[in-house]
Structure 1
Amino acid sequence: MKAMIIETFGESSIFKLKDVEIAKLLPGQVRVRVKATSVNPIDIKVRTGAVPAVSPSFPAVLHGDVAGIIEEVGEGVKSFQVGDEVYGCAGGFKGLEGALAEYMIADAGVLAHKPLNISMEEAAAIPLVGITAWESLFTKGALKKGDDILIHGGAGGVGHIAIQLAKWAGATVFTTVSSIEKQAIVKELGADYVIPYRESSVKEYVEKYTDGKGFPFVFDTVGGSNLDQSFEAAALNGTVLTIAARSTHDLTPLHSKGLSLHVTFMLLKLLDEAKRFEHGNILRHITAVVEENCLKPVLDKKTFSFEEVGEAHDYLESGKAVGKIILVNKW
């Protein structure tokens, strides 16, 4: 089969088109005819060698998100049959084949049936960011109807899904964005209150929207120094959720406010053979939310072929994308 592979870590130009052998199915696995994938920041980190602990061995096929059609079912698989349309975040990391190929072998437990009311391209945009948002909001945060939540980076990959999931759950959503264009996007997604963070300090918007008390839930999808702002924005005994905590911080605010800090790194379960089925369970919930017309991914206007994966990586790193970047299999 054709595949885009890397044989070393490096710049976006290291991807090569090669013919590789199609591996045999093991029990519990399925073979998926790949229709589309998307680019996530972790894919770039893997390509550059920034996360060796989760990186596959060379030659490597990258990208976790996949949408496609079941071509073959392995022994013991009861949940899928040949011809089923599926999606998931299934590989591209340590010990797992990636999606940048004609076919992808995946553990059946990490996949779910594709929502009927969206395209393959839209489905490919959801898995990694959707699972991350779900785990953060509901598994870690136990967000429920009537809760108030501040979501930092509401127009981002995880953020725009989190807004929709929080609204579906019945929460009131406040979100920060950087531009007028992104203000329009998050309003359309259902955000109740939009905060242009470049025009307002944390103290100012906490005073405006909470009478200085802070938000009971803060979901930080940005990381870095923004995590300190999340601590500042949180209410007494509040919950801070984050997906980016590879940084050093003064934890005094956590102590003085009695805050809880929860970190989500969704790849940990994907790489754990005993727990990865939890991702398939989450995606089944997400499928239902999508089919209720309560969640729809935002896609960037530009799409790429698999052979243009280097350009897609460059585009994500440029910061110019608005919405998820999709790659379509044209082989």
Structure 2
Amino acid sequence: MKAIEIRETGGPSVLQVVERPAPEIGGPDDILVKLKAAGVNPVDTKVRRNGPLVPDGLPAVLGCDGAGVVEAAGAGVTRFKPGDEVWFCWGGIGGSVGNYAEYIVLDNQLAQAKPRAVDFIQAGAAPLVLLTAWEALHDRARLSEGQRVLIHGGAGGVGHVAIQLAKAAGARVCTTVSSPEKADFVHALGAEYCINYQEEDLVASIMKWSEGQGVDIALDTIGPEVFRQTIPAMAHYGDLVTILDPGPELDLTEARMRNLRISLELMLTPMLRDLPRARTHQGDILRRCAKLIDHGDLQIHVSQTFPLTQAEAAHRLIEKGHVTGKLALVMD
């Protein structure tokens, strides 16, 4: 099978097209999936640059999420049969298991039935960002109806699904963008208020929208500086969640005065720390998101696709920043 492999860390050019033996089912609970598409995520570029997240992880096949068709199932598998369409988030953090490939073997409990309303490209690009956004909003911030929610980077991969998840929960959503075109995009997804961070003051804009109260929940998808700037835009007793490292030099004086609950979100933890119960919870999240997708309440925007063999070009594009929605690799 064709796969994209890294044997050393570095720039996009270290992504190499190789021929590998197709993986085989190793246990009664395994399924063999012929991949149709895989998401391209910022974490992929970080693993490529900085190294695998597991010891002795080189050579490695990247790609944390994908979608495809079950080709074979172990003797103990009752959930799936050959021909079933599945999506999942598994692999891509080091070693031979990843989704930048034509086939993958995984425990059947890690996969879920693909939403019927989307194609393989949308399904393959979705799991990682959906899990991240859901855990950040529902599990960390305890999202509830009627709250005011700020999503930073609303046109991005995590941001564009976070807007929709918050809206589906009955929240009022504000978001930040970098252009009028992206403002149109996020408004169509359900954002009530939009801030062009290149032209408008974040805190002043939030206070205007929230009638001086601040936002109940904020999701930082950008980094330390945006995290710090968001603190004075929060309502007292609010929830500030970041999916990135907020940095070592962090003045939390104002956050303490506002009694903020600050949370960190990394959806890879169940894979990195081998937490079966947490993986089961993530499966439940994907099933809930599939229902939202099939009911027309959640869409996955893939702005560009690349053949598997052009993974290098996909990495170069995502590292430029400002991608709208998601990028995906296509195997066929």
TM class by smaller structure: over 0.9
Partners of 1:54 and 1:214 in 2: CA distance = 40
* Aligned length, in residue pairs: 328
Partners of 1:21 and 1:41 in 2: CA distance = 28
Aligned pair in 2 of structure 1 residues 314, 175: CA closer, same or farther (>3 Å)? same
Instruction: Tell me which residue corresponds to 1:277.
Output: 280
Query: Which amino acid counterpart does residue 308 of structure 2 have in structure 1?
Result: F
Aligned pair in 2 of structure 1 residues 27, 273: CA closer, same or farther (>3 Å)? farther
Instruction: Tell me which residue corresponds to 1:42.
Output: 43
Instruction: Tell me which residue corresponds to 2:310.
Output: 308
Instruction: Tell me which residue corresponds to 2:202.
Output: 202
Instruction: Tell me which residue corresponds to 1:76.
Output: 76
Residues 109 and 279, structure 1, Cα contact 8 Å, conserved in 2: no
Output the aligned Cα RMSD: 1.6
Instruction: Tell me which residue corresponds to 1:116.
Output: 116
Partners of 1:141 and 1:27 in 2: CA distance = 38
Partners of 1:218 and 1:56 in 2: CA distance = 37
Query: Which amino acid counterpart does residue 255 of structure 1 have in structure 2?
Result: R
List gaps (5 residues or longer) in structure 2: none
1:224 aligns with 2:227: no
SS at match of 2:98: coil
Partners of 2:96 and 2:245 in 1: CA distance = 25
Superposition map of 1:288-327 within 5 A: 288-300=291-303, 302-319=304-321, 321-327=323-329
Q: TM-score, normalised by structure 2?
A: 0.94
Partners of 1:324 and 1:132 in 2: CA distance = 14
Residues 111 and 283, structure 1, Cα contact 8 Å, conserved in 2: no
Residues 57 and 94, structure 2, Cα contact 8 Å, conserved in 1: yes
Residues 156 and 322, structure 2, Cα contact 8 Å, conserved in 1: no
Residue 91 of structure 1 and its aligned partner are, at CA, apart by 0.9
Query: Which amino acid counterpart does residue 35 of structure 2 have in structure 1?
Result: V
Partners of 2:135 and 2:244 in 1: CA distance = 14
Partners of 1:107 and 1:211 in 2: CA distance = 50
Residues 243 and 265, structure 1, Cα contact 8 Å, conserved in 2: yes
Partners of 2:256 and 2:107 in 1: CA distance = 42
Partners of 2:324 and 2:282 in 1: CA distance = 26
SS at match of 1:174: strand
Partners of 2:246 and 2:29 in 1: CA distance = 34
1:154 aligns with 2:154: yes
Show CA shifts across 1:49-85 (max 9, x none): 25x4347722211111101001111243222221110
Residue 145 of structure 1 and its aligned partner are, at CA, apart by 1.5
Residue 109 of structure 1 and its aligned partner are, at CA, apart by 2.3
Residues 35 and 99, structure 2, Cα contact 8 Å, conserved in 1: yes
Show CA shifts across 1:260-305 (max 9, x none): 01111000012325232222111011100100101111111x3211
Moved over 6 A (4+): none
Instruction: Tell me which residue corresponds to 1:164.
Output: 164
Partners of 1:83 and 1:56 in 2: CA distance = 35
Partners of 1:305 and 1:224 in 2: CA distance = 34
Aligned pair in 2 of structure 1 residues 283, 117: CA closer, same or farther (>3 Å)? same
List gaps (5 residues or longer) in structure 1: none
SS at match of 1:276: helix
Instruction: Tell me which residue corresponds to 1:183.
Output: 183
Residue 211 of structure 1 and its aligned partner are, at CA, apart by 2.6
Residue 306 of structure 1 and its aligned partner are, at CA, apart by 0.8
SS at match of 1:325: strand
Query: Which amino acid counterpart does residue 168 of structure 2 have in structure 1?
Result: W
Aligned pair in 2 of structure 1 residues 266, 178: CA closer, same or farther (>3 Å)? same
SS at match of 2:53: helix
Q: TM-score, normalised by structure 1?
A: 0.94
Query: Which amino acid counterpart does residue 309 of structure 2 have in structure 1?
Result: E
Percent sequence identity is 40
Residues 3 and 101, structure 2, Cα contact 8 Å, conserved in 1: yes
